[in-house]
Amino acid sequence: MTDVQGTDLDIQTQDGVVDAYLVHPADGRPRPGVLFYMDAYGLRPHLRSMADRLAAAGYTVLVPNVFYRLGRTPVVELPEFIDPGADPTIWERLGPVVGSLTPDLAARDAGAYLRRLADSPLVADGPVALTGYCMGARLALWTAAAHPDRVAAAAGFHGGQLATDDPGSPHLGAPNITAELYFGHASNDHSLPPEQIERFEKALTEAGVRHTCEVYPGARHGYTQADTPAYDKEADERHWAALLGLLERTF
């Protein structure tokens, strides 16, 4: 396993300062860049460990706190093991935070994140890849649509609300996407019912987007998150194989 080096940094945007985590192979050589979009639970030890694993595979990975407008990490105090079933107030506190990040704000912030990667001597020249989890899957789609010249590949895992009736629904950006996409849906996910999966894939197909969409049988929303009850080791390892395969094809 390649040794990695991680550091905390700040990124200036039009609306403030984002606290973020950057990790890369310890040799310091420029590597392909990956913008890693967090889930609603935020930038925490588990996400850092996921970014470390990705960096060890040969990438420079940036994980921004996308809720920076409401404060630095942790925006909402959460326990080490996050179980909304045991504490329903978790989502009462997180709901308004998630809702505050509109598609327009997300796309604008993405420009700052992508510039930070482009300016880093640790990132190889050229487009980057995206990966996103839960709400981060929506952010990956909005970013791929808003910045097609900067995004070569995008992945999303156990994403919710990908193809709704909302005018800002992520699937509506499909005609602008030039990246190759991979999406691993959870079969047990109330935030992405079968009709949304069908609508999402139809939008990608009609737009001519190169894509693979798979449903992970038995997996729950959040299956990659080992600090939650939704974690599914088999589905998580399948996610890693799919993500690394996409990145290998891209870079």
| Residues taking part in catalysis | 134, 189, 221
Rounded Cα gap, residues 182 and 154, in angstroms = 7
d(CA 207, CA 39): 27
